[in-house]
Amino acid sequence: MMGSVLGYALRVVRVLPRPVQRAVLGRASAGEPPAVADFVRMLEIAGDMPETGPTDAELFARFPELAKVTVSEPAIAGVPARFYRGPESSGVGFVWVHGGAFVSGSLSMAEAHFVALALAARGIAVLSLDYRKALHGGHFPQASDDVLTGWLWAAQNMDAERLHLGGASAGGNIVAGVSKRLRDGAGPAPASVVLVYPAVHAELPEWPAEQFAIVRRARNAVYFSPTWVAEMSRHYAGSDETLKDPYAFAGNGDVGGLPPTFVLNCEADTLRASGEAYAGQLRAAGVEVSVHMEPGAAHGCVGDPFTSAAANSIDRIAGWLLGRPLS
């Protein structure tokens, strides 16, 4: 019942002017999300969360270099995608996948659009991918299949000397799983994998209780409890057996033989437990891994363009992709 009420309320919010949407949803963006069943039902009714990030006009006013990036929409076997190219090319390509807890998000959200614009403005050709959500009965491997399809298209069509694969949050989960599928013969491996505040374990790894408490008290931070993460993982997987699948949750099974991996975590984020644990697994398996933490930042920071956390994170990602890593 609560999910239905929230869904119809969200429908009303979606037709309001963007400044009003920001005012309404800004107050509800921190703290604990609704119960998973209510959250899923809300989105099935509403369609998706309203896009409250900055408009292109607002982005270009703050970052004039972004206006020089060209954006097109390639046809990729049913997978929605946008291709971003700046006026200069570094020879580096990047396939990027946004987050959204497996049930939300689009190519227009700042975590997809702004990140792609910012990297393209630095000479990195970016293919931003959408994917089928775990709504209306959809589950793994639909999203994984979509990202794999997009990656194979990029490998055949993007003119890049070095092609990397990356994603944020749930997108980081999908990307990590696809990198395993590629390792195991599904296609050419990426030059590296970029994981931004990823959730790659079906349950959050063990983490000190005081760390969870700090995140829960943090101002403007989303608090993903261990129970919430486990329930959303079960919803995405669709079955208990799939929770053990190494392609659905890359923290399962062998992680050896994977490409060099960049992991960016946020300090005020419980999903940091997964990112840190996965980096440890990779390192133990002999995979080159570079781990960074954005101090004080909350989950989703790269989708908040006008903050220092987003600027610092983009700098770190670009430095890794261009071979000039920052400390």
* 40 lies in the same domain as 64: no
Q: What is the pLDDT of residues 74-122, one digit of tens each?
A: 999 999 999 999 999 999 999 999 999 999 999 999 999 999 999 999 9
Domain that holds residue 61: 53-321
Whole-number pLDDT of residue 164: 98
Q: For residues 59 and 57, what is the distance between their CA atoms, to the nearest angstrom? A: 5
Is residue 73's pLDDT more than 70? yes
Q: How many CB atoms lie within 10 A of CB 62?
A: 10
* 120 lies in the same domain as 234: yes
* Strand partners for 289: 261
Place of tokens 């700042």: 110
- Give the C-alpha distances (Å, rounded to integers) separating 114 from 53, 71, 117: 9, 12, 5
Place of tokens 């570094």: 90
Q: Which residue has the higher pLDDT, 326 or 161?
A: 161
Whole-number pLDDT of residue 91: 96
* 63 lies in the same domain as 152: yes
* Contact indicator for 146, 129 with CB cutoff of 8 Å: yes
Q: For residue 184, what is the DSSP state? A: I
- pLDDT band of residue 16 (cuts 50, 70, 90) is low
Most confident of 16-20, 49-53, 182-186: 182-186
CATH number of the domain encompassing residue 232? 3.40.50.1820
- Residue 326 in any domain: the answer is no
Structure tokens that stand for 126 in this block = 């970016």
Q: How many CB atoms lie within 10 A of CB 18?
A: 14
* 104 lies in the same domain as 11: no
Place of tokens 């630095």: 122
Strands 70-72 and 193-196: unpaired
* 143 lies in the same domain as 278: yes
* Closest residue by Cα to residue 218 from 29, 54, 35: 29
* 116 lies in the same domain as 11: no
Strands 261-268 and 162-168: unpaired
Strands 162-168 and 193-196: parallel
Q: Give the dihedral sign, CA 313/194/247/163.
A: positive
Q: What is the mean pLDDT of residues 5-25?
A: 56
Is residue 4's pLDDT more than 80? no
* 117 lies in the same domain as 254: yes
Q: What is the pLDDT of residues 210-246, one digit of tens each?
A: 999 999 998 889 999 999 999 999 999 999 999 999 9
Whole-number pLDDT of residue 220: 84
* 162 lies in the same domain as 48: no
* 103 lies in the same domain as 119: yes
- Give the C-alpha distances (Å, rounded to integers) separating 135 from 47, 132, 221, 224: 10, 8, 25, 20
- Give me the half-sphere count of Cα atoms (radius 13 Å) on the Cβ side of residue 157: 13
Distance linking the first and last C-alpha atoms of the chain: 48
- Residue 313 in any domain: the answer is yes
Q: For residue 87, what is the DSSP state? A: S
Could you tell me the maximum CA-CA distance found in the chain, to the nearest angstrom?
52
- pLDDT band of residue 42 (cuts 50, 70, 90) is confident
Whole-number pLDDT of residue 13: 54
- Residue 71 in any domain: the answer is yes
Whole-number pLDDT of residue 9: 54
- Give me the half-sphere count of Cα atoms (radius 13 Å) on the Cβ side of residue 304: 15
Tell me how many domains the chain contains.
2
- Residue 225 in any domain: the answer is yes
- Residue 307 in any domain: the answer is yes
SS (H, E, C) 101-112: CCCCCCCCCHHH
Q: For residues 244 and 56, what is the distance between their CA atoms, to the nearest angstrom? A: 41
* 231 lies in the same domain as 110: yes
* 28 lies in the same domain as 151: no
Where residue 208 falls (left for φ over 0; alpha for ψ -120 to 50; beta otherwise) is beta
pTM equals: 0.93
Mean pLDDT over all residues of the chain?
Answer: 92
Is residue 49's pLDDT more than 80? no
* 4 lies in the same domain as 58: no
- Residue 327 in any domain: the answer is no
Q: What is the pLDDT of residues 248-282, one digit of tens each?
A: 999 999 999 999 999 999 999 999 999 999 999 99
- Residue 265 in any domain: the answer is yes
Q: For residues 187 and 200, what is the distance between their CA atoms, to the nearest angstrom? A: 21
